Amino acid sequence: MDQPRSRLEAILSSGAFAVTAELATTDSADPRSVLDMAEGLRGHVDAVNCTDNSAAHAHISQVAAAHFLVDAGFDPVVQFVCRDRNRLALQADILGACALGARNVLALTGDDVSAGDHPETNSTYDLDSLHLLRIARIMRDDGTYLSGRKLTGPPSFFLGAVENPFAPPLDYRPIRLGKKVDAGAEFFQTQMIFNMGRMREFMKVVVDMGLNERAYILGGICVPKSARAAHYMAENVPGTDIPAEILRRLDGTPKEKQADEAVKLCTDMVLELKEMPGVAGVHLMGINFEEGIVRVVEDAGLLPRPEVAAQIP
């Protein structure tokens, strides 16, 4: 590879501290619903995640959303979950996303349907994220489908995965990350971080294993709008570890100042991640609080974002 395949890869390979953000979901068929939300992030982030039926709720197609973002000058990270599609559909959609200009692919297994508003539906899970990573790498690097049938025009993309440093068994999480690197993952976005002590322990093992030399690790930071939102995440989002002292800190803040306190809290965590060995960037999330993402980027001194060149095949 002579040049990075996406803006995100170019930022990371340059050694700059990368900033990605999750695009809020939309249930509208109007492209403006996607673009209006993305506009608030322009100039503040290097790439924007397009989620794939997040939390097992149906939303606009992530491939369509990514296409709108490409046309508007953004660098999308297109998520693909194994829950809703078999290997035929996943290969077709990855190829389609790349044909439409998306150059970052993120493989996930996906939340169980019991977490969403269609709990009676049938999950597919023909693959898990490890197998999807391998298939995506085969398509890109070998120029074939999993079956061995040749692609006349192989896709080109920066391949990513997710990891949760807070899910038991804790000592297995760096090993799991290593398996995903072996399967083809070139960058990672982690589960939302509130327990910084546990994140430091996780990253120490990752660095000791040399995995940060083989893939870029972006720490996930979610900005809650209120103490109530933080409690909701702690109680309802699988794999979330919010220490009691953080909940008490937000609970003890007057309601009208809780959003400001959350921004300060998350800004401090971003600055800590920036100095943590092995961490190459941050992935920011906001639950109906995109303004919080923008404020954290500004308050953490992450502007202006670097200018880079990427080769788009």
3-state secondary structure the chain: CCCCCCHHHHHHHCCCCEEEEECCCCCCCCHHHHHHHHHCCCCCCCEEEECCCHHHCCCCCHHHHHHHHHHCCCCEEEEEECCCCCHHHHHHHHHHHHHCCCCEEEEECCCCHHHCCCCCCCCCCCCCHHHHHHHHHHHHHHCECCCCCECCCCCCCEEEEEECCCCCCHHHHHHHHHHHHHHCCCEEEEEECCCHHHHHHHHHHHHHCCHHHCCEEEEEEEECCCHHHHHHHHHHCCCCCCCHHHHHHHHCCCHHHHHHHHHHHHHHHHHHHHCCCCEEEEEEEECCCHHHHHHHHHHCCCCCCCCCCCCCC
Number of structural domains found in the chain = 1
| Nearest CA among 31, 78, 33, 24 for reference residue 55 | 24
Instruction: Check residue 55 and give its pLDDT.
Output: 86
Q: Would 304 be classed as within a structural domain?
A: no
Q: What pLDDT, on a 0 to 100 scale, did the predictor assign at position 234? A: 94
Tokens of residue 95, six digits:
């190829």
In-domain check, residue 91 = yes
| Residue whose pair of structure tokens reads 């369509």 in the numeric block | 64
How confident is the model at residue 285, as a pLDDT?
Answer: 97
Indicate whether 293 belongs to any domain: no
Looking at residue 293, its pLDDT comes to 98
Domain membership of residue 20 (yes or no) is no
Task: Note down the domain range covering 72.
Answer: 1-9+26-37+46-163
At 179, list the tokens: 């398996």
pLDDT at 135: 98
Q: Is 195 contained in some domain? A: no
152 domain-assigned: yes
* Assigned domain for 236 exists: no
Cite the beta strand spans of 66-225 per DSSP E.
76-81, 104-108, 158-163, 187-192, 216-223
Mean pLDDT, consecutive 10-residue stretches, the chain (313 aa), reads: 88 98 94 95 98 93 98 98 97 98 97 89 95 98 98 98 96 98 98 97 98 98 97 89 97 98 98 98 93 98 88 53
pLDDT for the residue numbered 237: 85
What CA–CA distance (Å, rounded) separates 223 from 49? Answer: 16
What are the residue ranges of helices labelled H in 40-110? 62-71, 87-99
Residue 77 lies inside a defined structural domain of this protein: yes
Beta-carbon contacts of 137 under 8 Å, excluding residues fewer than 6 positions away, are 159, 183, 184
Length of the chain: 313
